[in-house]
Structures are given as C-alpha cells and as structure tokens.
Structure 1
C-alpha cells in the first residue's frame, strides 16, 4: 500500500494569521496531514481555513496551524512544547499515524494525556476539541482485509481517547460522525476532500461555540 499510494502535497497558503472582527479568540489547530489539509489545493479549503472563516464571523481570530504529514501524537507534542504561546481554543486531529505505526491503546492514551495536559496547562487552552480517530475501515484506498484490521485498531484507540477526555474539563471528544460517502474523500482515497473538510469544520466550530457559551 505504501509503495502504490498516491502522495498528495500539503496545501499552499498561510499557516497563521488574524481574521474577523469582535472579541479576540486565539486558536491553535494541531495534528497530522488531515489537520494540515492534505487533499485540497489551498488552506482556505482545508480544515484550518474552514474553521477560521466560520469563527471570524463573530470573533477576531488570531490563529496558527501546527500540523505536518506523518506526525503522531508524540511528535506533535514535541513540536508544541517548543512554542509556548498561550491560546484560548485548541483543535487536534491525530490518530491515523499512531495506528499505522503500531501504537498500542495504552501508548496512544499516554501520549494524548501528555498532549492534553500541555494544551490545558502551559498553553492555557480553555476549550480543546479533540477530533476522534478516523474510521479507517471506511478509507476507499484501503483494501480488505487491511481496512478491517486498521479500522479495528483505530476504533480501539478512539475508545481510549474518548474516555481520556473525561479527565479534562476543557476537552470535548468529537466523534467522526460524518457521511460514509467515498466521493467525499480526496483523490488518494485516504484524506478528506473539500466538502468533508467543510462538514468537519462545521462540527468543530459548533462545539467551540457551545463550549465558550457554557463557560461565559
């Protein structure tokens, strides 16, 4: 699969900026290739661009994207520990690379616990949207029985992640409750396409609004 897979680049565009008008909201988006927006051509159509565009309707959004193809939870934590700038909201998208690199549920949960502790501690995030581990059994690019095997492991890791978020009052686990429609995937059959990023971003922003409203 690795030898035959179509390799898509990360989209072009800004990875930090300021947008909108209203109360200041500092937003961090961190994770792997899905957080980086692989599957679309520009960051405007990727997860970060879709989130910022929605939030900018009501806030002055000061945002940054810390995401790279291939990053696991542990690697992402290491990158974030080098930049200690506080945020109000953090969004994470991780798990696929932890699955493909054979992380056990215990290892994954330990790395995620350290990540959440860093986001809610030194980075001071008062709202963290933790995207669930994608349902890899649905990835069009994966043949059977590989799709089933990876899907089972992804589900195990996500169960552990869901339970972990209950330890952090600032965190909300967002299940990947998105349409099972292969046409929503990018051309590689592995990453989201523009429409799927749009749907995902809409769910994330709804959680952010709900969490901020509850804490106001």
Structure 2
C-alpha cells in the first residue's frame, strides 16, 4: 500500500471512529437529558395509594403522573410505597424496607384510615403522622413545598360500612383529617381535601370499586382533578 493510500485510510478510519464516538456520546447526552427532564414522584400510603381493587392505570398517583405529562410537565412513573391495611407505623417500617432513593421532585402522603379502623388513638396518629411528614419532606430534599398530603376518604358511606356505624366512622375520619391538616399547615405542606367528594359515593355506586369498600377509578379521577392544580402550582 502506498504512503498516500495509507494516510488516506488512516484519516478515514479516525474520522469514522470520531463520528461513532460523537453519535454515541450524543445518544448518551440525549438519554441523560430525558432522565433529567422527568421529575421523580414518590407516593406514600396504604390501600388508597396502591389502588386496591382497581387497575394499575386507575391508581390516583398513576393518573396524576399521566395528567401532569399531558399538561406539559415531564413526570416519570410514580414510585409507590403503600400496602393495603397499613397504619402509620407500618408505613414507616415499609419505607425502611423499600430503600427509596431521594431526592424526589414530588412526594405525597395519604395515611390513617387503618389507624381509625383498628381503633388506634388520635394522639398516636398525630405523633406518627408528624414523623412521616417530616420524613416525606426529607425525601424532597428538605423542601416542604414539594410535598402534599391527601385527606382520608370517608369509607363510612360505602356498602362495606352499612352495618358498622357510618356516622361514627365519618366523625372519626374527620377528626383524623383535622389533625393531619393542622400538622401539614405547621410544616408548610399543601393539604388536599378530597373527603367531601368521597362522601358522594353514598349516592353514586360507580364511585366505589367492586369490593364495596375502596374507591373506583372514577373516584380517583375526581381526586386527581383536585390534586392536579395544586401540584401544577407547586412545580411551576
């Protein structure tokens, strides 16, 4: 091979390798931008957050992420730490086992119905809820404005509670929510009250899942309609 041909081939190969390197690096940059552009959402709770008796797409955190994306806010699929039946202390243990990876751009907390259902004291709830809320804020890089609390729905209006003293359930749920709202205000955290809307299930069976207790996807959609503007203002 002549010296000229060898030089040409060398330049060609070096240029080609450089082009490949540029394309690969550019691809990695695009992927990094995509990842960096998607906000991280952590949802903490119980059956209402994991969406007992509804499909994954009907869960309110999933519906919220979808709605945010549709409104132009790039949101990754939510990370959910929640299990049906969890009380405040059980959620705390669940968080410890889940090893979440902060910081998150958005964190939600909805917990307490099982404390009420099991007859646990309001004072215990206040103490444990406050600790959970402080932890939620720490997951949001210490920024309370990135955290929101969702009130406990009134399951006293569901078929499940027909013979379980619905009036007593409603009053106790209201007391738990009042405590959660006061603690949220203390920490400077947004509190979204979906409880009045949950009471509509008394007259609309479609708002209740097939198990006769938990919210349906339709009710979760109503929740998201109240949560969405709050979260949009938090993010923007």
TM-score, normalization: structure 2?
0.74
**Counterpart for residue 64 of structure 2:** 51
Note if 1:103 corresponds to 2:120.
Answer: yes
Counterpart selection for 2:190 from 151, 160, 172: 172
Counterpart selection for 2:79 from 52, 64, 71: 64
Structure with the bigger percentage of helix? 2
Residue-pair matches, total: 192
CA RMSD after TM alignment: 2.1
Mean CA deviation greater in 124-133 or 65-74: 124-133
Whether contact under 8 Å (1:23, 1:59) holds in the other structure is no
The CA distance in 2 between the partners of 1:22 and 1:55, in whole Å, is 16
Note if 1:25 corresponds to 2:42.
Answer: no
The CA distance in 1 between the partners of 2:66 and 2:79, in whole Å, is 13
Q: 1:147 to 1:212 in 2, by over 3 A?
A: same
TM-score, normalization: structure 1?
0.80
- State the Cα deviation string for residues 45-79 of structure 1 (Å, max 9, x = none): 22122111112222332331111111112211222
Structure with the bigger percentage of strand? 1
Whether contact under 8 Å (1:91, 1:131) holds in the other structure is yes
| Structure 2 runs not aligned, ≥5 long | 1-33
- State the Cα deviation string for residues 19-44 of structure 1 (Å, max 9, x = none): x999431101121111111131x211
The CA distance in 2 between the partners of 1:186 and 1:84, in whole Å, is 29
**Counterpart for residue 13 of structure 1:** none
Whether contact under 8 Å (1:90, 1:128) holds in the other structure is yes
The CA distance in 2 between the partners of 1:137 and 1:148, in whole Å, is 7
For residues 95-134 of structure 1, what are the structure 2 equivalents within 5 Å?
95-124=112-141, 126-134=145-153
**Counterpart for residue 75 of structure 1:** 90
Structure (1 or 2) with the larger CA radius of gyration:
2
